[in-house]
Structure 1
Amino acid sequence: MPNELLWIGFALLDLSLVLLVFRLFGRVGLYGLIVFNLVICNIQVLKTIHLFGLTTTLGNILYASIFLSTDLLSEFYGKKEAQRGVLLGFCCLILATLYMQIALQFAPGPNDFAQPHLAAIFDFMPRVALGSMAAYLLSQWHDVWAFHAIRAKTGERWLWLRNNASTLVSQLIDSSVFCVIAFWGVFPFSVWLEILLTTYLIKALTAGLDTPFIYLAKRLQLAPQTQTATQGEAR
Structure 2
Amino acid sequence: MFIALAAFLCVNAVLAEFIGVKIFALEDTLGIAPLQWNLFGQSGSLNFTVGTLLWPFVFILTDTINEFFGSRGVRFVSWLAVALIVYGFVFAYAAIHVAPAGWWVGVAKDQGVPDYQAAFAAIFGQGLWSIFGSIVAFLVGQLIDVAIFHRIRNATGERWVWLRATGSTAVSQLVDSFVVLYIAFVLGPQHWPIPQFFAIGTVNYGYKMLAAVAMIPLLYLMRHGIRAYLGHEREARLRSEATRD
TM-score by length of 1: 0.81
Comparing 125-134 with 85-94, greater Cα deviation is found at 125-134
CA positional deviation for 1:44 = 2.7
Verify: 1:201 aligned to 2:206, yes or no. yes
Mind listing any 5+ residue stretches in structure 1 that lack a counterpart?
A: 1-25
SS in 1 for 2:8: helix
The 5 A counterparts of 1:122-141 are 122-141=124-143
Instruction: Give the number of the structure whose residues are more often helix, by fraction.
Output: 1
Given that 1:55 and 1:198 are in contact with CA atoms closer than 8 Å, whether structure 2 keeps it comes out as no
Greater relative CO, 1 or 2 (CA 8 Å, sep 6+): 1
Aligned-CA RMSD value: 2.0
Comparing 223-232 with 77-86, greater Cα deviation is found at 223-232
The 5 A counterparts of 1:1-235 are 26-52=1-27, 53=35, 54-113=46-105, 114-184=116-186, 186=190, 189=193, 192-220=197-225, 221-225=227-231, 226-235=234-243
Given that 2:185 and 2:192 are in contact with CA atoms closer than 8 Å, whether structure 1 keeps it comes out as no
Given that 1:76 and 1:230 are in contact with CA atoms closer than 8 Å, whether structure 2 keeps it comes out as yes
Given that 1:164 and 1:208 are in contact with CA atoms closer than 8 Å, whether structure 2 keeps it comes out as yes
Which string of whole-angstrom CA distances, capped at 9 and with x for unpartnered residues, describes residues 37-69 of structure 1? 112211232222222532332211201211111
CA positional deviation for 1:191 = 5.3
CA positional deviation for 1:218 = 2.4
Letter matched to residue 214 of structure 2: L
CA positional deviation for 1:231 = 1.3
Letter matched to residue 102 of structure 2: P
Match of 2:30 in 1: none
Match of 1:9 in 2: none
TM-score by length of 2: 0.78
Given that 2:56 and 2:212 are in contact with CA atoms closer than 8 Å, whether structure 1 keeps it comes out as yes
CA positional deviation for 1:192 = 4.5
Given that 2:64 and 2:223 are in contact with CA atoms closer than 8 Å, whether structure 1 keeps it comes out as no
- Number of aligned pairs? 210
Which contiguous aligned blocks of 4+ residues in structure 1 show a shift greater than 6 angstroms?
A: none
CA positional deviation for 1:99 = 1.2
Given that 2:145 and 2:172 are in contact with CA atoms closer than 8 Å, whether structure 1 keeps it comes out as yes
